[in-house]
Amino acid sequence: MRSLIVTLDGPAGSGKSTVARLLARRLDLEFLDTGAMYRGLTALCLDHGVDPGGEPKPIVALAEAHPLRFDWSQNPPRLYAGDLDITGRLRDEDVTENVSALASLTPVRQVLVRTQQEIGQEHVGLVTEGRDQGSVVFPKAQVKFYLDAQPHVRAKRRAQQLRDAGKPADEKKILEKIMARDERDSTRTHGPLICPDDAERIDTTDMSLEEVVDLLERKVNERVDMGDASRAGQEASS
Ligand code: DC
């Protein structure tokens, strides 16, 4: 596997998770879904009677007592908290409603950022997606993207995702919640949702999933080829 980190940041419903998973497969890299980690810790709090938006200390203690880890032998990888497989819990409504509050707590972010950086050291070929991957977690990543789309399209995609999982979906409510979550994720002090200066912004509003994945695959390969060529040039001239 090549040593390459590709970051994909962007707001809820921009298609990041699906795109990142498919892109990772095409490029023969592994896929890190960092939203799943915030969701997993939120589920853990709710299931242990800890307020996910409250005092950070008990939340950090829970994260330490039940470390989050992915089973990379599965595709997509499954998420465990300690020995418990919590993958099925990640998209539940109570988790979605509370995750943004937990993600705004600085000590909690510090724990998860550290875990993500450790994963990056162990898995050198990675497509990683979230809100702060290019800005905070992997600032030296070779290729960075920021995926965006009009809010109504993002709500539509999220609704479809829920229906595909056999869950009910009210698009209007989803749109309201997406906008509220964007606002909270963009205005928090630590690791807010931003487009890093060195990331390429891709508006996927009018693009199909296939078109987005094709485009990103092409761009990553161009960038990697350019990097190889410039390194070869430097070596030849030194
Ligand atoms: O991408 P998602 O919907 O699964 O993310 C769930 C929440 O976690 C979202 O409200 C933002 C937060 N999050 C974050 O703050 N930082 C990340 N790297 C990933 C997700």
The more confident residue out of 167 and 132 is 132
pLDDT-derived band at 2, boundaries 50, 70, 90: confident
- Give the strands of the sheet with 68-71, arranged side by side: 68-71, 78-81, 84-85
Token digits for 207?
């693009």
Report how far residue 136's alpha carbon sits from residue 138's, in angstroms, rounded to the nearest whole number.
Answer: 6
> Does 39 contact ligand 1 (Cβ within 6 A)?
yes
Check pLDDT > 60 for residue 238. no
Residue nearest (by alpha carbon) to ligand 1 atom 3: 12
> Does 99 contact ligand 1 (Cβ within 6 A)?
yes
pLDDT-derived band at 188, boundaries 50, 70, 90: confident
Say what the pTM is. Answer: 0.90
Q: Which among 32, 167, 157 has a CA at the least distance from the CA of 94?
A: 167
Amino acid at 83: D
pLDDT digits (tens, 9 = 90+) for 124-158: 899 999 999 999 999 999 999 999 999 999 999 88
